[in-house]
Structure 1
């Protein structure tokens, strides 16, 4: 069994890696230059998709870059260069652009498919650590992502080089995002399952209780009926409506607690005498995240939902937002 060194030695090793990789990323700043801009133009002009490829650790980075491009408005996918020469090259079509990653610029699997890429006649953007390499020389545009040294003390494991390549890939993706005018709403549409997607896409109308599930009593109903309605619908509140189903007020668990300090006959006291008038309401097309902000600002746990005429169409409480993942 290997005995772990003291904590300070472990931390020293970790800090050395962070500092080395930070220096590698900082060294990329002057390489955001005309070559970078030319690569961005090729990718923006792409009528098809951006095909990202790389082998080994560079392949893992290529997959991440492809995913980032795709989720920020630039259609992209990853192709394994080894599989490309065994049929997957058919996934690359005229109108596409290839973005190839190789630290050495001499990766056999990528060099093997270069003539085929040239035959298709599509642009090739290369990211390598060797500007004089075969891949760099064959590319339409080359971006230098070379590093002074790897963070691995043996100088063997790709560490600084992969970090630098990933950072440059992010730089490309964000530059393209801004050039396309890609918005938060656009991002949400490609991330409907994520928390941001839910916050930007889910509306009150998607979550609210409707029809028979809405707790509601008329203004003339006794307090006892309102309490039974609240208990049956289990939303901690009930709407109070007039004869045309317009919202007159609301009665909540909080109102009930405050009412306990006073003397009221549950059977004879009209709910209209003890309800909260001019209550805060939501609309069906309001974002659920906006409804949450209203609840937090007003320090309330539920909202009635009204249409343009003020008629009751739904009810929403904090538990609905919790279940949806908005909170």
Structure 2
């Protein structure tokens, strides 16, 4: 084996991406009645989804099982070789099996077909050959075949593993949406690290409350209200009348007032405040509140408990808590 020192790595890499892109596009018309059947089999499953596959298909199957498990579909991976030596005991009649094999004839997988039949487990297959033994034995077959592997020898699984992975993602997302799976549901599957912090934290965990919340009355002179804004360090103040929220005044409101020529010393805060401000509830996820702020292009939300102001949460609080 000799190395070509003038080899064009960029051209090779781009060719691989183009071939795999074409393979993925070819999957779209294959999202058909068989795909619907596969989704329904999993939704109706009273047990768990068991994913199996040999070699590179096994690696893809492992990832599909992990994606399903983290998006509301209890799933795990079983190596077909180990299944023949005791791990078949992990599979129960109420389970649904997803078996991957590009050829549909992998011996380690097809040898399990009589056992799946005897158990009565439903079988979904992903193969590149609709006429294969595995495809014919399945209750639903998902065609992940490709015209050509990205490998120039057309030997190493490349495009075919990509299509299997994408088909698995399509299944997982369709099931997620059908179940009405929420960000909070997702959080309980991802409690560790920054993702866990982002999804598990609630607004009440990071908001400012009590004396930390700046408050002025509607008839407060604007100059005096500015002192409340700066003293609490939140870049805003709430305006409250008889314990009820009348509005907020922020750094942004100050800039707009100055641009409009408002006299800071004579104007009342009610004249320049934002009356119908966006609010959040203390029990919602911090990630949801962050989306509200991003969508509204604002840096703070007043947190309401019923009709009462419970606190304030700012973009800086999100950053400090690792939500961003």
TM-score range, shorter chain: 0.7 to 0.9
Per-residue CA distance 1:159-179 (angstroms, 9 max, x = gap): 12212322333444455456x
Task: Tell me which residue corresponds to 1:53.
Answer: 52
* Alpha-carbon spacing, 1:121–1:209, altered in 2? closer, same or farther (3 Å): same
Deviation at 1:301, TM superposition (A): 3.6
TM-score by length of 1: 0.72
CA RMSD, Structure 1 to Structure 2 (Å) = 4.2
Q: Which deviates more from structure 2 when the two are superposed, residues 167-176 or residues 218-227? A: 218-227
Q: State the secondary structure of the residue aligned to 2:51.
A: strand
Separation in 1, partners of 2:136, 2:179? 33
Task: Report the alpha carbon displacement of residue 295 of structure 1 after superposing the two structures with TM.
Answer: 5.1
Deviation per CA, 1:56-100, whole angstroms, max 9, x where unpaired?
A: 210121123223434554432222223333443332222111111
Once the two structures are overlaid, the 10-residue window that deviates more, 146-155 or 23-32, is: 23-32
Query: Is the 2:48–2:94 Cα contact (8 Å) retained in structure 1?
Result: yes
* CA pair 32-252 structure 1, distance change in 2 beyond 3 A: closer
| CA distance, structure 1, for counterparts of residue 268 and residue 278 of structure 2 | 24
Q: Paired residue for 1:12?
A: 11
Q: Hey, what's the Cα distance between the residues in 1 that align with 2:264 and 2:138?
A: 85
Asked if structure 2 preserves the Cα contact closer than 8 Å seen for 1:281 and 1:305, the reply is no
Paired position in structure 1 for 2:185: 190
Runs of 5+ unmatched residues, structure 2: none
Q: Secondary structure at the match of 2:109?
A: helix
The aligned runs of 1:117-136 (5 Å cut-off) are: 117-136=116-135
Please give the alpha-carbon distance, in whole angstroms, between the structure 2 residues aligned to 1:250 and 1:325: 26
Q: Which runs of 5+ in 1 are unaligned?
A: none
TM-score after normalising by structure 2: 0.73
Structure 1 residue 316 corresponds to structure 2 residue 313: yes
Within a 5 Å distance, the mapping from 1:109-148 to structure 2 comes to 109-148=108-147
Give CA-to-partner distance per residue, 1:272-294, whole Å, 9 cap, x none: 94564454444442751464157
**Counterparts in 2 of 1:27 and 1:227: CA distance versus 1, 3 Å:** closer
Q: 1:207 to 1:132 in 2, by over 3 A?
A: same
